[in-house]
Structure 1
């Protein structure tokens, strides 16, 4: 059995970001979106859609942001907003920036193959990014950028309320867990992150764009995918 690690660093990061980015703090008393009556899927979906639209407006209201100023589109997320699986990548690339949707082109093709290998269709899960705008020249987001957008990402996760979170890439790992070590030493281990007093199982793995550049690491991603599939089966999640 893999020992679960409860990472509390996210709370300290949120306190830090609150001190340097006060304009982007959400209200202390958020809408209670967890006490939802069973068999109310339609109202639940509508509620989530409205909350996501409001979140998008919040992100678009950012000022003095180099990422936003140099991007064509904000990429929030897409897929099934009621899915039990939320997959978070690092940041949009050129194809995603043009389309305003997640994981396009060669990167998207590889992700689709990876998910289909464990019998998951991308459209049946929910996909997003740690950073919602494309970094110039597709560079790695800075720690300050990750912290700035992690406020929105945490709210994003709370809205989707998945049962499992998949983090692909070091920026996604840092944004959600606060871990900024090498992803090679953290991937493949089930961890837990706590957001708004709710615990989420988290699996860290390589980003598809990284695997395109370093295909020799696909074997490690395959091991991660098998663990994800095992967890889905254990939790009796239907996708």
Structure 2
């Protein structure tokens, strides 16, 4: 049996990277802690009201109450104030109401052509997307590029976004609360791009855009009109490239969806 020894620097970095990829973001002590026996300090209501009512110093940014930051209605108000995609990206980048931001490396807002008439919506950034700050740049993105090229498209002809702009720890599926917080920003993104068609990639993105709990295998390949904010648009759900990498036999279904997208593009006269 190998004798225990201290990790060297390279090994410690590898372990930390593994922990980060798995979503570990909190160090704990050697002794167990009874959290049920602990009580959070309770601030007097008057003190909270006084702090919320106190004006900020001249020139200082406005400090919003924490309850405001996690309210989807507040996110809708912020999103509605964006008059351009650049303004919306700045608003989302400064927004602290979604816990995913605390664990992500950087914002992953969008990629492609903001004037495109075709919009692609995925689920959430992965590890490589988190590093580069762009959606679909890892292995899934490389497959997506090949799928687009097969019907004469590339990233200069489409606009790509995700349902949430920050990577969930361990690449897990975003929670309903995280989706609800970020949905107003996605709606405003769609309104500002105003695409003629949307292609959703994978089950979670399809369920968010189509407001359904139906599984992707039942919904894929079926066109529907969806309402994203104030913008109504035809949308087609298809399988996520990551799923296709794990299940190569499903590429035949995805290919039929891409041909359907190509046919709709030709019918609508999208260049």
The counterpart of 1:125, out of the listed 147, 154, 158, is 158
Deviations 1:31-53 (A, max 9, x none): 8xxxxxxxxxxxxxxxxxx6112
Q: What is the aligned length?
A: 203
Question: Which consecutive residues of structure 1, in runs of 5 or more, have no partner in the other structure?
Answer: 1-18, 32-49
Residue 54 and residue 220 in structure 1: after superposition, are their counterparts in 2 closer, same or farther (change >3 A)? same
Q: Kindly state the Cα deviation for residue 77 of structure 1 after the two structures are TM-superposed.
A: 0.5
Point out the structure with max Rg over C-alpha.
2
In 2, the alpha carbon distance for the partners of 1:202 and 1:132 equals: 20
Q: Higher RCO, 1 or 2 (CA under 8 Å, sep at least 6)? A: 1
Deviations 1:169-212 (A, max 9, x none): 12211222211221111110001112344320000011111111
In 2, the alpha carbon distance for the partners of 1:120 and 1:181 equals: 29
In the other structure, the counterpart of 2:253 is 220
In 2, the alpha carbon distance for the partners of 1:58 and 1:205 equals: 30
The counterpart of 1:54, out of the listed 73, 81, 87, is 87
In 2, the alpha carbon distance for the partners of 1:24 and 1:65 equals: 10
Q: Secondary structure at the match of 1:184?
A: helix
The counterpart of 2:98, out of the listed 62, 65, 80, is 65
In 1, the alpha carbon distance for the partners of 2:234 and 2:162 equals: 18
Residue 235 and residue 133 in structure 1: after superposition, are their counterparts in 2 closer, same or farther (change >3 A)? same
> Superposition RMSD on alpha carbons, in Å?
2.1
In the other structure, the counterpart of 1:44 is none
In the other structure, the counterpart of 2:47 is none
The counterpart of 1:24, out of the listed 63, 67, 75, is 75
In the other structure, the counterpart of 1:175 is 208
Question: Which consecutive residues of structure 2, in runs of 5 or more, have no partner in the other structure?
Answer: 1-69
The counterpart of 1:106, out of the listed 125, 139, 143, is 139
In 1, the alpha carbon distance for the partners of 2:80 and 2:240 equals: 34
Residue 197 and residue 97 in structure 1: after superposition, are their counterparts in 2 closer, same or farther (change >3 A)? closer
